[in-house]
Structure 1
Amino acid sequence: MTESIASANCMCLSGEPYAACCGRFHSGRAQAATAEQLMRSRYSAFVRLDEGYLLRTHHPSTAPAGLDLDPAMEWRRLDILATGGGGPFDTAGTVEFKAYYRHGKARGVLHENSRFVREDGRWLYVDGDILS
């Protein structure tokens, strides 16, 4: 990771530098303590096309064999709308979010309510419902 990426603000829009925010999860130096932290780090992994992290943080019962990440997809902004459970002492949680993107000249919003579980101290993404 270059110094400029490490010191730049994190793409999840937390306001923290990447290295102190999602970068520590991507590198394996730390584990997300909440479902929201995992959601933010997964969003940042989509921005960075980090297939390995996305697969490692996907629950085995629903994980795909691989991902087809599109380098032309520009993830622009993440808004966390609501959380349910998902705290450091919970075993399950939900995060409702909107992720704004641009793909070529098209713009769009992915609005999802994601489900997470914590197993062996690690938060994992299970699945989500796409909302309109």
Structure 2
Amino acid sequence: MNLVSIRIITARLNELVKFYEQITNVTAVQYTPDFAEIKTPATTLAIGSTKTLAFFGGDEIAKPAQNSSVIIEFKVDNVEKDYDRLADYLQNNIVQKPTTMPWGNKSFLFRDPDGNLVNFFTPVSAEAAAKFNNQN
């Protein structure tokens, strides 16, 4: 089994697509006006409008902008460099400047326009780096 994507349901699809394109430097593939994907070598971040919920049985299955338990994480080459690149763009949405975590990753946390928590991290300890050897 492979985890292939995480999907965000939003009432502001275009805004979220532009946001994730900006932070990842990846152009989204927008299949319909209500569905887009940011494809990375490891997995895909899908972004669907609330209109897509009709295909799953109705509006009550997921609520946009109400996540308080999931962190969307991206392993980046140099978290400090990404922080410098994005600090002005993110302004008041920064939760934590680059900080080394006890498990060996340097993490930079911020929120997307829907309030979802996003983590850019770089493994900085030998143990953390070894965990990601041979992975994207």
Instruction: Give TM-score, length-normalised by structure 2.
Output: 0.28
More helix by share: 2
- Greater Rg, structure 1 or structure 2? 2
